[in-house]
Amino acid sequence: MTQEHDIHEIAAAFDEAVQSATTYAELDSVRSSFLGKRSPVKAMSRRLGSLPEDERIRQAVVLNEISARMQAELDRLLPEAQQRELEARWRSEEIDITLPGTTHRRGAWNPLSQVEQRSLAVLRRLGFEYREGPEVEDPYYNFDALNIPKHHPARDLQDTFWLDGNLVLRSHTTTVQARVLAERPELPIKVASAGRVYRNEAVDATHMAMFHQLEGFWLAPGLTLAHLKGVLAFVVRELYGPEVRIRFKPKYYPYTEPSIGLDISCTRCRGAGCDACHSVGWVTLMGAGMIHPNVLREFGYHRPGVRGLAFGWGTTRMTAQWLELNKVRRLYETQQRHLRYLTRGLM
């Protein structure tokens, strides 16, 4: 069998391969098989040197003609296949811009965040500026600067989470008050803060080792207990409505003197008595008082006529009351369906 016969066999095999190739990748594979560096055509071209001159010239002409025909056929078919596949891809990815758009499911705000933002919005109307503080705190800002001496029960391991390096997880957001006063800003000072606090106590239906608080303080010349009661009454009625009833009662906090608590009429039973208010018709909401002189003295604000007022409440408890939840743990669940259901009660 002569080499020329082999050339014609390769040409026939090429025609058959081209006819069966339907995609760009298959045609490119045919090109590599029949015209690549290791193809039979290149092998025959290398063997031409061993033939007599006349035979070499004749077979070289045949081989060149067949190679040129193969290349021309592939040059025609490859772009057509590429264009055909591109158009098919465009059709499969075509978008009807007149159809409604598709969006990702939006997450749900945690009810605690909604209550917190609603409360801060009320305080901003009174001129309070929002400030944040660290949750891992120095005992000085958590206790000493706030007139909580070393023998105070709150410093016991049963109430506070102590960390390595003589640090604590803050047990109240009043640490922000201490940090702001430590900066010695000019009077008047009106600051609100909110966030997580931690208490080393038993977890039950109404208590958790981590919960949320929000509080504010105001330091300026001439403030009295009447200013404090006016601020508290305004905040409560903005949050609960003008019809809510309030009452004040004496309390004790080491960082305020005098100290008061604020109760509101139960929003569930309207004062008639129910399980939520333990049948007394009132629910404790806030703790407050005039900033203790020892705290003012600690930061250099113990001057004639300068007084401060402070107040705070647990937004975890407030949110549970608004949503009529019997377990505060439900506020910290992370399922979106559950959170959406809860937040509907705050709209």
| Residue 16 labelled as part of a binding site | no
Question: Which are the contacts of 184, defined by CB distance < 8 A and separation ≥ 6?
Answer: 299, 300
Using alpha carbons, select from 286, 320, 252 the residue that is nearest to residue 123: 286
Angstrom CA distances, 58 to 3, 13, 64, stand at 11, 22, 10
Burial annotation 70-97 (CB, 10 A radius, 16+ → b, else e): beebbeebbeebeeeeeeeeeeeeeeee
CA 197-342-285 angle, to 5 degrees, is 45
Using alpha carbons, select from 22, 214, 8 the residue that is nearest to residue 117: 214
CA 193/CA 137 separation, integer angstroms: 15
Report helix, strand or coil for 207.
coil
CA 283/CA 262 separation, integer angstroms: 9
Q: Which residues are annotated as a binding site for Mg(2+)?
A: 257
Q: Give binding residues as ranges.
A: 257
